[in-house]
């Protein structure tokens, strides 16, 4: 498996995003597009494709909705809204969804909502999915409990840069993650804009990978610690999925670099265009895959969020990766996640 472990340590260098707020105008939400804080053209490589325009926003804007971008490329904090209300209000939900398409991950504080509210909001995006290893809350199907305390078994699935469920034929569309209990310090999560990671690749790399496809495996990750018969049963249930290395976002049309810690190898690299001698394929293909996976470790593409009780993150899993920092032992961190069924990448 081409692992992101060699680059995960770089991810912790991302700065904790500023949470400062200001009073916005009373008539419309305070909102700054990340396109307003891009680097000057004189500092940009000339071959970069233009940044895609922000998705159109619904016309019915809410005066109580306050939006604070956290970096120039990804993430915004939203306040003045309860997700329990958004679960039942079509216009409010449409505004939040539009912001999600633009910022790729949204953060909210003080969401003292019930598990039923959590599920109801997440289901506005689509049906919820179970996890074959982690399982769901028995009383709330689709709500995965990610609880870490002193009695938790050591594992290292979260603290790798990854996109959820790419080992599925239809990877997750996104997720709504709520903090139930946070450590006094530590336990942050990092998200990465993989649209920007693709856009800023060298032109010849973009051309080389445009038609490549790759395999993604649950057997080589979650299944690695299982006895052989269980590991084989897991793979029989979830055969390695094949996805494009560059996927297209089904709603925005953006192109996305779509390889991560679940990606094991290219399936159509060994062609005359790429291979002159055997070493061009092995290790050449692995070198290229590891280079692509390492792009998620670039801090300029990242945002880092510090959790508190009742904080929520909503992310678009199609265009992001994330990394849960496991630096909080002996602290306790309890999270609840509703993952949303996605579509097949193209």
**Average pLDDT of the residues in 333-345:** 96
pLDDT over 50 at 225, yes or no: yes
What does the alpha-carbon distance between residue 167 and residue 225 come to, in Å, rounded to a whole number?
A: 17
| Res 62: pLDDT | 46
pLDDT given for residue 52 in this prediction:
59
The confidence score (pLDDT) of residue 237 equals: 92
Contact by Cβ (8 Å): 191, 105: yes
- Catalytic annotation present for 322: yes
Sheet holding 302-305, edge to edge: 302-305, 189-193, 320-324
The percent of residues above 70 in pLDDT, for the chain, comes to 80
Which residue among 31, 118, 124, 162 is the active-site one? 162
88 is catalytic: no
Could you report the per-residue pLDDT of 103-143, keeping only the tens digit for each? Answer: 999 999 999 999 999 999 999 999 999 887 766 777 888 89
Average pLDDT over residues 15-37: 43
- Per residue in 200-222, pLDDT (tens digit) is 999 999 999 999 999 999 999 88
| Annotation says 249 is catalytic | no
**Is a pLDDT exceeding 60 seen at residue 336?**
yes
> Looking at residue 31, what is its pLDDT?
53
How far apart (Å, rounded) are the C-alpha atoms in residues 105 and 18?
Answer: 15
Contact between residue 204 and residue 341 where contact means Cβ atoms under 8 Å apart: no
DSSP collapsed to 3 states, 218-248: CCCCHHHHCCHHHHHHHHHHCCCEEEECEEE
Q: 102-106, 116-120, 154-158, 192-196 — which is least confidently predicted?
A: 154-158
Residue 8 is predicted with a pLDDT of: 38
Radius of gyration of the chain (CA): 20
Q: Does 74 or 31 have the greater pLDDT score?
A: 74
270 is catalytic: no
The pLDDT value recorded for residue 22 is 36
Please provide the average confidence, as pLDDT, over all residues in the chain.
85
Please report the pLDDT score of residue 50 as a whole number. 64
- Regarding pTM above 0.75, the answer is yes
Q: What is the pLDDT of residues 241-265, one digit of tens each?
A: 999 999 999 999 999 999 999 999 9
The residue annotated as part of the active site, out of 117, 164, 188, 316, is 164
């Amino acid at each position: 498996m081409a692992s992101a472990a060699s680059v995960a340590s770089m991810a912790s260098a991302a700065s904790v995003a500023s949470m400062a707020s200001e009073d916005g105008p009373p008539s419309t939400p305070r909102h700054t597009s990340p396109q307003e804080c891009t680097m000057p053209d004189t500092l940009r490589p000339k071959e970069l494709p233009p940044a895609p325009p922000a998705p159109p926003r619904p016309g019915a804007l809410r005066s109580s909705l306050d939006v604070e971008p956290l970096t120039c490329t990804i993430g915004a904090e939203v306040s003045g809204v309860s997700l329990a209300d958004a679960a039942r209000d079509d216009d409010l939900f449409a505004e939040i969804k539009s912001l999600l398409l633009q910022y790729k991950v949204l953060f909210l504080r003080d969401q003292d909502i019930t598990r039923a509210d959590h599920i109801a909001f997440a289901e506005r995006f689509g049906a919820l999915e179970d996890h074959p290893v982690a399982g769901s809350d028995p009383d709330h199907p689709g709500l995965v409990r990610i609880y870490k305390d002193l009695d938790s078994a050591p594992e290292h699935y979260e603290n790798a840069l990854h996109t959820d469920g790419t080992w599925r034929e239809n990877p997750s569309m996104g997720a709504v993650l709520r903090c139930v209990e946070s450590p006094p310090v530590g336990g942050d999560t990092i998200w990465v804009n993989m649209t920007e990671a693709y856009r800023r690749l060298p032109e010849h790399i973009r051309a080389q990978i445009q038609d490549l496809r790759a395999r993604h495996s649950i057997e080589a990750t979650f299944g690695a610690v299982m006895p052989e018969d269980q590991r084989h049963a897991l793979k029989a249930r979830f055969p390695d999925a094949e996805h494009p290395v560059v996927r297209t976002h089904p709603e925005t049309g953006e192109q996305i670099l779509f390889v991560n810690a679940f990606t094991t190898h290219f399936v159509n690299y060994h062609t005359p265009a790429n291979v002159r001698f055997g070493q061009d394929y092995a290790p050449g293909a692995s070198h290229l895959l590891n280079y692509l996976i390492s792009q998620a470790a670039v801090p300029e593409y990242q945002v880092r969020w510090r959790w508190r009780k009742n904080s929520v993150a909503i992310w678009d899993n199609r265009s992001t990766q994330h990394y849960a920092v496991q630096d909080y032992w002996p602290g306790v961190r309890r999270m609840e996640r509703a993952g949303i069924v996605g579509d097949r990448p193209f």
